[in-house]
Chains A and B, each alone.
Chain A
């Protein structure tokens, strides 16, 4: 019994990591209908950036976020301004193809620079430390930090979207970009800002992933898949739904792994399909839409 409770707890915290991955994806799709196939690879790029900083300056990976987050935001802004904005239009195919190409370029570029070796980031004792919750149950300190980071990020995003002028502009553009331009919103610039925010969140996701597990240049696509699943399970356009989606996926995977190490990932996918069958719009679809 305690074993299962422990498994579910692990899954919930893993869900925090998935939510971090999913948030950026959900944001870019929501605001500009851009499905970013290179999303996972960009998170791995962030992980390598952190690796370089950690190796050069000997700082903790957590501290490296101070540099990696703004760096990734700048990369996102530039990427949208100089490449992705030109792919957006009535046809959904160009952005898919271009980001698919970008994914390949990133994987091979990272392979060239860093080789195919698996890397990891270490945060020392925190990595293995655990907090006893009593009753024989303990949670890892690092997974708990990950979940806390996800909640903080989502709370910040929620505040940004609901309580700031920028957030209003993002929602309005998501609703109707043509009418948003009538309000004086420069949609191309706004898209660049949205991508910058998405990449800032992806930087956090990439670094936490790199601490949790090892990564190599080809680790991106699997991250993209989980991020997609978390977004769809949670319901498109719902921030906290994304966290719920990540948790459903995380719990399903850890239960799967507990049953048999070969089944972990598959059980996650099955949970995704089951949610799709029962609630095709996800658990918390945005309800304000007309």
Chain B
């Protein structure tokens, strides 16, 4: 049994259907990448798992339990954390307050303020600064740290490299193995295929709201991925 099992999940924005019968698995201790072009439904998928859509309860099973109908505030309590696209830090909170509020759900576990500072030492130096005064890369570190403070068993990262310099992206991706080693299931959404495949063992390719390709990263050829990515 996989930690996260999604079965024929559909999602809608009003009359517009954004996801069509998506099946998805994520395993503890493994990284899974979701790649696809803009508008492929990647972010919608992550937000649906986080509770922002109301699919049938059974469409999303986490650790064997149906969570599809739970509200976002309840989903995080089960151990599902989302690092949202664009970071979405709280501007009126300091860096440390942003991290602390990540622990609001009250889940116990190995992640503490000290350990997040250990993972991203630069944040400790800027702990009292308003979160939005940090550089883009540092803000992304806060967003990841904030999600970790809830001690998730499934961590979903939406476009964490978007708009960042390559050297900063490398720093952030360097932190991911340490997170994986805790037994967390990691789901990474990226537009940059190379970046995603550098850490992920499993790959899903989304196109037009459907899964067009899935498999082990090592088994898939670049041509197959390109074909699924662009739909040509």
Contact = CB atoms under 8 A, between A and B. Distances in A.
Interface of A: 165, 168-169, 171-172, 174-176, 178-187, 286, 288-290
Contacts of A187: 73
Chain B's interface size range is 20 to 34
B88 interface: yes
Given A174-B92, A181-B73, A290 B97 contact: no
B12 interface: no
Interface string B81-99: 1101000101111000100
B71 A183 contact: no
A183 B88 contact: no
A171 B77 contact: no
B101 A288 contact: no
B199 interface: no
A183 B105 contact: yes
Contact of A182 (B84, B91, B100): B84
Interface in B60-90: 71-74, 76-77, 81-82, 84, 88, 90
Contacts, number: 73
B84 A289 contact: no
A184 B84 contact: no
A176 B77 contact: no
A175 B92 contact: yes
Contact of A183 (B51, B52, B132, B150): B150
Given A175-B93, A176-B88, A184 B104 contact: yes
A186 B130 CA distance: 24
6 contacts: A171-B92, A182-B72, A183-B104, A183-B150, A184-B106, A290-B132
Interface string B145-162: 010001000000000000
Name the 4 nearest CB pairs between A and B, nearest first: A184-B105, A290-B132, A181-B72, A290-B91
B102 interface: yes
